[in-house]
Structure 1
Amino acid sequence: MSVVYQLYTVADGENTLEEQTGNDRPFEFITGFGVALDAFEQQVMNMEKGSSFDFILQPDQAFGAYDPEGVHKLQRDVFMINGHFDHENIFEGAVITLMDNEDHQFMAKVKKIEEDGVTIDTNHPLAGKTLNFKGEIKENRDATEEEIQHLIKHLTGGCSGCGHHHGDGECGGCGDHHEHGDGCGCGHCH
């Protein structure tokens, strides 16, 4: 599928633009592989080329509720390189990649830096938010075998990372994430 969209968060009757794609860089994905949110796929997968959409996803259909247990304080030495704190990459607001004890990578946002530690938030940035997607279907067709194999290779580690990296540390997919140049593609790869 290929879609262009604007993603808004909805709070107190106000819509705030979070992410958008454009005709020059649509969000392209193969359904059924977990690249896009399941509820997003369900809304658009049977639509024809040229169809417009405008739908709401509640937090439980998107990134779940915000979990205060996802906020952790880590010791500063976790972020030391050659005996020095990594100020270049670790700053308040930075989105960083960390690894757990089982070598699984995950993204976290640096919330606060103090003398005794660094507070990170492992919740998805859109956790707890109601989302409004508005857009248009640019293409809806069966994926080729080559496209499927490429995606499987990508999803199983045959490629490094997501293929896209924001200047602010976020990893994403296709369109324009405000002025950053690459979008988060309906929430995949965070």
Structure 2
Amino acid sequence: MRINKGLLVQAHYKLEDTEGALIETTNGGAPLEFIFGMGLMLPAFEAELSGKEAGDKFDFVLEPDDAYGTVNPDLQIELPRSAFEIDGEFDSEIVYEGARVPMNTDDGQVVEGLVTKITDETVSMDFNHDLAGMALHFTGEVVEVHEPSDEEYNKYFGHQHGSCGGSCSGGCSCGDHGCC
């Protein structure tokens, strides 16, 4: 079966930068698993796997614009050190250089930033993706391609029977009133 929209894909891969430094690998562990064409993976990554089948190998490079983008200087900010105080004390157990700290945007969205520098007055943070600005070299092999079972589908998207969508309170036509 060839990789196409809606199919469950399992693949082992190795991700390196273009200098050959290992970023991550599934080799020796569970394969990457996702439902193809549903917005779970980078579109360019999916484009490279489209049409492949179990046993097919792959080897490709995604340039920054096709991966996590270029480094955006607007996402590198300085905040007042006082923003990280609890009862007048700087929270050095959570906020230190190299720490990943969850922050809230003005509209309440939680985003994670990397603390890059701390001074007496400010904390510098970078909200770019860790792989922003990098060309990514993927090598690997497609392990399996199949129609996802209900259980596999629900792992990614939750219960979707009938018109329920998870909010029926027992009054929909899906017939599974334990679902809502």
TM-score, reference length from structure 1: 0.73
Q: Supply the AA of the counterpart residue of 2:11.
A: V
2:75 counterpart of 1:67:
no
Q: Supply the AA of the counterpart residue of 1:142.
A: E
Please list every run of 5 or more consecutive structure 2 residues that lacks an aligned counterpart in the other structure: 1-8, 160-165, 167-180
Alpha-carbon distance, 1:89 to partner: 1.7
Structure 1 residues 144, 74: closer, same or farther in 2, change over 3 A? same
2:114 counterpart of 1:95:
no
Say whether the 8 Å CA contact 1:49–1:137 is kept in structure 2: yes
Alpha-carbon distance, 1:33 to partner: 2.7
Alpha-carbon distance, 1:146 to partner: 3.1
Q: Distance in 2 between the 1:34 and 1:96 partners? A: 26
2:126 counterpart of 1:117:
no
Q: Distance in 2 between the 1:122 and 1:17 partners? A: 22
Q: In the alignment, what sits opposite 2:134?
A: 129
Alpha-carbon distance, 1:23 to partner: 4.3
Larger radius of gyration between Structure 1 and Structure 2: 2
Alpha-carbon distance, 1:106 to partner: 1.2
Q: Supply the AA of the counterpart residue of 1:2.
A: Q
Structure 1, residues 89-144: CA drift from partner, whole Å, max 9, x if none?
21111122211111111121111011111000011111111110011111111222
Residue identity (%): 38
Q: In the alignment, what sits opposite 1:147?
A: 152
Aligned residue among 9, 14, 20 for 2:17: 9
Aligned residue among 42, 49, 60 for 2:47: 42
Q: Supply the AA of the counterpart residue of 1:69.
A: D
Q: Supply the AA of the counterpart residue of 1:51.
A: D
Q: In the alignment, what sits opposite 1:55?
A: 60
Q: Supply the AA of the counterpart residue of 1:8.
A: E
The alignment of Structure 1 onto Structure 2 pairs a total of residues equal to: 152
Say whether the 8 Å CA contact 1:45–1:140 is kept in structure 2: no
List structure 1 segments (4+ residues) > 6 angstroms apart after TM superposition: none
Structure 1, residues 32-73: CA drift from partner, whole Å, max 9, x if none?
232211111111132111211110101110011111111000
CA RMSD of aligned residues (A): 1.9
Say whether the 8 Å CA contact 1:2–1:26 is kept in structure 2: yes
Aligned residue among 2, 10, 26 for 2:31: 26
